[in-house]
Amino acid sequence: MTQLTERPSRTLMLDGETVNVRVGESTRARTLRVILGPRRQLEAIVPHSVSDAELDRFLDEKRAVPRTRLRVRCEQLASANGWAVAERYVDAGISALLAQAAAGG
């Protein structure tokens, strides 16, 4: 397993919510990537050679990625539980997950 060196976290505005992005630096990583999973906090993995300015630009360019992944996550959760999903409920779920992420959960 690759060891990550923790860098200072970044904040990202998504749908009016401030979300913390955990940042891990990897000696094995070759590209920047954003990770968000069912049991993972929003995280950016960066190669050791990437500057803070490059990371900030990357996060700004990829701002839509976390929202898309949150939408998929809400839809999967609804599907797994047999819930009917209406757009407004998915948006409410995204807002709830953003609030959870903002609170560090």
Give pTM, 2 decimals: 0.62
C-alpha to C-alpha distance for 28 and 31, rounded to whole angstroms? 9
What's the pLDDT score for residue 1? 55
The boundaries of the domain holding residue 16 are 4-102
Q: Do 32 and 47 form a contact (C-beta atoms < 8 A)?
A: yes
pLDDT at 49: 92
The number of distinct structural domains making up the chain is: 1
Q: Model confidence over 25-44: pLDDT tens digits? A: 999 999 998 887 666 778 88
Say if residue 86's pLDDT is above 50: no
Of 8-12, 67-71, 74-78, 90-94, the range with the lowest mean pLDDT is 90-94
Q: What is the pLDDT of residue 81?
A: 67
Helix/strand number for the chain, H first, E second:
3, 4
d(C-alpha 14, C-alpha 50), whole Å: 24
